[in-house]
């Protein structure tokens, strides 16, 4: 694990501040789930005995149990807080058991003889060396490995807890065949894929690869006729940055709420950017409550922050943290509100 960024520490903390996470992309996750189960059914992948990595609060675990009656699932997660939530969510399914497991330990994965290993938005949170080692371990105990993760370079810097890997290359290095399916909807300009890999070219694997090739051809034709999402994002970012330069005086510090999706490395010419929430100068995830957000705002305002600016990737905050936003609107002037930014001028500390 990197000495500069501790993945486990980050996710254990995020687990304790969980409530905002599931609601953020609720509609997208429903589409993601439909896509996953549709492909598994079309490919006729056996799903009787499963191991799930990074089960979190059990969203996918419960869906697997609902869609495959009688299935046995061994669900793993680092966080005891997440496991407790997942157990509650899956209490009606006696075939599901949970274990705490640290990917960075040398401990063997529990069990063997699995039909499939499932990891939904899990590998993307770990460096390539760790993912490569996990694939080796999983291929020894499971017929199939399937994951959903980001699949192409982001149009901006990824945050410290996100990696974009070439999964087809990772699987090939491990001696696995792979079928890759492009999810039909992007998230904030970012593309995900479903990868299904296996050592043996089974009938199901042949079918899956043929399906993937057909889908890829159709997608390429559609992309050739479409405007690049990355280009649109870059244009939006450029315009938003110029607006911030006009709003915030040189030498000032300002709070930027963008879920770290700009990497906070945009050129702000002498203005200091403060991520929100922040921990030792780094982005530390969304607040657990409105009161946490208000408390952190006041702390940063007292420390000299002159503005708070919400960028469009984080406009979900304006609905979800209604108490926080009401506090801003009641106490501070809103300088800008458009499709890119919502900005408030913070009063000087008294």
| pLDDT (tens digit per residue) in 82-131 | 999 999 999 999 999 999 999 999 899 999 999 999 999 999 999 999 99
Is the entire prediction scored with pTM above 0.75?
no
Annotate 163-220 with DSSP letters as a single string.
Answer: ----HHHHHHHTT-EEEEEE-SS-BTTB-EEEEEEESS--HHHHHHHHHHHHHHHHHH
Six-digit token pair at 248?
Answer: 């915030």
Same domain, 43 and 184: yes
Same domain, 117 and 137: yes
User: Does 290 fall in a domain?
Assistant: yes
The count of other CB atoms within 10 Å of the CB of residue 115 is: 17
Last residue of a domain, one of 174, 194, 224: 224
CA-wise closest residue to 99 among 118, 116, 115, 82:
82
Same domain, 167 and 260: no
Does position 265 have pLDDT exceeding 60, yes or no?
Answer: no
Alpha-carbon dihedral sign for residues 26, 274, 237, 222:
negative
Last residue of a domain, one of 172, 192, 224: 224
Question: What is the pLDDT averaged over residues 239-244?
Answer: 91
Same domain, 196 and 291: no
Does position 163 have pLDDT exceeding 70, yes or no?
Answer: yes
User: Does 109 fall in a domain?
Assistant: yes
Same domain, 129 and 266: no
CA-wise closest residue to 117 among 140, 96, 97:
140
Cite the beta strand spans of the chain per DSSP E. 49-52, 72-77, 96-100, 114-120, 142-150, 177-182, 192-198, 253-257, 272-275, 278-279, 282-283, 305-311, 333-337, 341-345
Same domain, 197 and 237: no
Q: Which domain holds residue 261?
A: 230-345
C-alpha span between 61 and 123 (Å, rounded): 17
CA-wise closest residue to 192 among 156, 143, 148, 162:
148
Does position 160 have pLDDT exceeding 80, yes or no?
Answer: yes
Same domain, 81 and 219: yes
How many domains is the chain partitioned into structurally?
A: 2
Cis, peptide link before residue 277, omega less than 30° from 0: yes
Q: pLDDT tens, 4-53?
A: 678 777 767 766 655 545 555 567 788 888 889 988 988 889 999 999 99
Same domain, 60 and 177: yes
User: Does 178 fall in a domain?
Assistant: yes
Does position 217 have pLDDT exceeding 60, yes or no?
Answer: yes
Q: pLDDT tens, 227-238?
A: 456 677 778 888
User: Does 171 fall in a domain?
Assistant: yes
Last residue of a domain, one of 176, 195, 224: 224
Same domain, 300 and 315: yes
Same domain, 176 and 323: no
**pLDDT for 66:** 95
Same domain, 264 and 166: no
Same domain, 160 and 236: no
User: Does 295 fall in a domain?
Assistant: yes
User: Does 350 fall in a domain?
Assistant: no
**pLDDT for 266:** 56
User: Does 1 fall in a domain?
Assistant: no
User: Does 16 fall in a domain?
Assistant: yes
């Amino acid at each position: 694990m990197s000495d500069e960024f501790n993945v486990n520490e980050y996710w254990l903390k995020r687990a304790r501040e969980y409530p905002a996470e599931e609601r953020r992309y609720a509609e997208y996750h429903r589409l993601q789930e439909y896509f996953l189960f549709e492909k598994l059914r079309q490919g006729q992948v056996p799903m009787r005995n499963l191991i799930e990595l990074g089960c979190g609060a059990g969203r996918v675990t419960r869906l697997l149990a609902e869609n495959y009656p009688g299935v046995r699932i061994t669900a793993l997660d680092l966080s005891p807080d997440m496991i407790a939530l997942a157990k509650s969510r899956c209490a009606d399914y006696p075939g599901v058991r949970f274990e705490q497991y640290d990917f960075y330990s040398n401990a063997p994965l529990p069990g063997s003889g699995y039909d499939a290993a499932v990891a939904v938005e899990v590998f993307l949170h770990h460096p390539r060396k760790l993912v490569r080692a996990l694939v080796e371990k999983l291929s020894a105990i499971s017929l199939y490995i399937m994951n959903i993760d980001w699949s192409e370079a982001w149009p901006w810097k990824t945050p410290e807890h996100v990696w974009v890997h070439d999964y087809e290359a990772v699987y090939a290095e491990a001696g696995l065949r792979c079928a890759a399916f492009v999810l039909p909807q992007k998230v904030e300009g970012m593309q995900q894929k479903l990868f299904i890999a296996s050592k043996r070219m089974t009938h199901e694997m042949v079918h899956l690869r043929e399906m993937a090739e057909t889908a890829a051809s159709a997608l390429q034709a559609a992309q050739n006729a479409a405007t690049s999402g990355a280009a649109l994002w870059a244009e939006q970012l450029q315009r938003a940055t110029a607006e911030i330069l006009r709003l915030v005086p040189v030498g000032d510090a300002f709070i930027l709420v963008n879920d770290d999706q700009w990497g906070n490395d945009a050129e702000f010419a002498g203005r200091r950017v403060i991520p929100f929430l922040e921990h030792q100068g780094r982005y530390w995830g969304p607040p657990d409550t409105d009161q946490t957000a208000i408390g952190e705002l006041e702390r940063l305002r007292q420390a000299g922050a002159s503005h708070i600016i919400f960028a469009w990737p984080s406009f979900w905050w304006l609905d979800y943290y209604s108490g926080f936003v009401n506090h801003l609107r009641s106490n501070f002037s809103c300088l800008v509100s458009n499709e890119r930014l919502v900005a408030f001028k913070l009063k000087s500390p008294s």
